[in-house]
């Protein structure tokens, strides 16, 4: 018999970026509950060392495990690239990252096999995207580019600020003549800059955002990894942050397109 499990799904990012993934999951699974943790005291992760990111990933995951989540979604490319292997070794609860789902979607989308990847410095340096794409098809031509200025712009809520356009134009310059037909937004913050990225890179390049790919991965998880909530379970969404809850609520509003109530956000120490 199909067992039901109404415990929440835990999802985390260094800050607000993972809310792009949360939003897709809330829509796709209307009776699942979620606890989202944004490590806002230590954002950004993307400029930190592999060792530090691994440590942060385990600490954040542990805080969610303490709340008895049934599945962990690492909604951060940097933590997926550098912390997921250690996390899977550390805890028996299943953990899903964002890199493989994003790569699969890009592989299915690209017509010519020329794929760009933009991400944080640490994600690019880890070669996780290059490796995962090569494992899917060794003929892919991969163009990787770190865009370290994008995360602070998004955390600041500057999605359509004129300065953002200048930063995007100059950051994406190295990809302009690369011939890519698909561009992976390899950081969960970047979908918030999607309109300006699309304008700058041109209309013929398909942008890949891992949020819907992660939702599809969860929908297809076998029941030994995920027991779904009962069909009549009522969805609840709780937010945990490691610093300044009010600021988080303000920025979260842009991501989720609705207000986050004061009592939905709790500040915690890791």
Per DSSP, 63 falls in state H
Per DSSP, 114 falls in state E
Q: Whose Cβ is closer to ligand DGL: residue 151's or residue 153's?
A: 151
Q: Are 187 and 126 in contact (CB under 8 A)?
A: no
Catalytic site residue from 91, 103, 147, 187: 187
Distance CA 241, CA 140 (A): 39
Nearest-approach distance from CB 102 to ligand DGL, in angstroms = 10
Query: Catalytic residue at 76?
Result: yes
* Exposure string for 15-38, b = 16+ CB within 10 A, e = fewer: bbbbbbbbbbbbeebeebbbbbbb
Q: Whose Cβ is closer to ligand DGL: residue 77's or residue 144's?
A: 77
Nearest-approach distance from CB 270 to ligand DGL, in angstroms = 15
Q: Whose Cβ is closer to ligand DGL: residue 64's or residue 229's?
A: 64
Q: Whose Cβ is closer to ligand DGL: residue 132's or residue 188's?
A: 188
Pairing mode of beta strands 182-185, 206-209: parallel
Nearest-approach distance from CB 188 to ligand DGL, in angstroms = 4
Distance CA 176, CA 268 (A): 43
Number of residue whose CB is nearest ligand DGL: 46
Footprint on this chain of ligand DGL (rule: CB under 6 A): 13-15, 17, 43-46, 76-78, 120, 123, 151, 187-189
Q: Whose Cβ is closer to ligand DGL: residue 102's or residue 229's?
A: 102
Residue that has been written with the tokens 């989540």 in this structure:
69
The CA-CA-CA angle for residues 105, 109, 113, to 5°, reads: 110
Nearest-approach distance from CB 43 to ligand DGL, in angstroms = 5
Query: Catalytic residue at 187?
Result: yes
Looking at the DSSP bridge assignments, the partners of residue 145 are 118
Q: Whose Cβ is closer to ligand DGL: residue 48's or residue 206's?
A: 48
Distance CA 130, CA 134 (A): 6
From residue 52, alpha-carbon distances to 26, 40, 60, 191, 221 in Å are 30, 15, 12, 25, 30
Runs of H (alpha helix) within the chain: 19-28, 50-65, 77-90, 99-109, 121-126, 128-136, 150-155, 162-172, 194-201, 210-219, 245-256
Nearest-approach distance from CB 185 to ligand DGL, in angstroms = 9
The catalytic residue positions are: 76, 187
């Amino acid at each position: 018999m199909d067992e039901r499990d109404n415990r929440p799904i835990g999802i985390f990012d260094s800050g607000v970026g993972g809310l792009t993934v949360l939003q897709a999951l809330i829509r796709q699974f209307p009776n699942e509950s979620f606890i989202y943790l944004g490590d806002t005291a230590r954002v950004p992760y993307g400029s930190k060392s592999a060792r530090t990111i691994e440590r942060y990933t385990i600490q954040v995951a542990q805080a969610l495990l303490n709340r008895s989540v049934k599945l962990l979604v690492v909604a951060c490319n940097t933590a997926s690239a550098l912390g997921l292997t250690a996390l899977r070794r550390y805890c028996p609860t299943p953990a899903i990252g964002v890199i493989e789902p994003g790569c699969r979607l890009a592989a299915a989308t690209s017509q010519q096999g020329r794929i760009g990847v933009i991400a944080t410095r640490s994600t690019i340096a880890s070669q996780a995207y290059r490796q995962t794409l090569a494992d899917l098809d060794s003929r892919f031509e991969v163009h990787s580019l770190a865009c370290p200025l994008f995360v602070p712009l998004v955390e600041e809520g500057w999605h359509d600020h004129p300065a953002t356009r200048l930063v995007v134009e100059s950051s994406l310059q190295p990809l302009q003549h690369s011939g890519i037909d698909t561009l992976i937004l390899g950081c969960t913050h970047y979908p918030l800059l999607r309109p300006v990225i699309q304008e700058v890179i041109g209309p013929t390049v398909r942008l890949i955002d891992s949020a819907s790919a992660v939702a599809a991965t969860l929908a297809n998880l076998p029941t030994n990894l995920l027991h779904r909530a009962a069909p009549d379970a009522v969805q609840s969404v709780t937010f945990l942050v490691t610093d300044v809850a009010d600021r988080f609520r303000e920025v979260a509003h842009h991501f989720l397109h609705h207000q986050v109530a004061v009592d939905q956000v709790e500040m915690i120490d890791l």
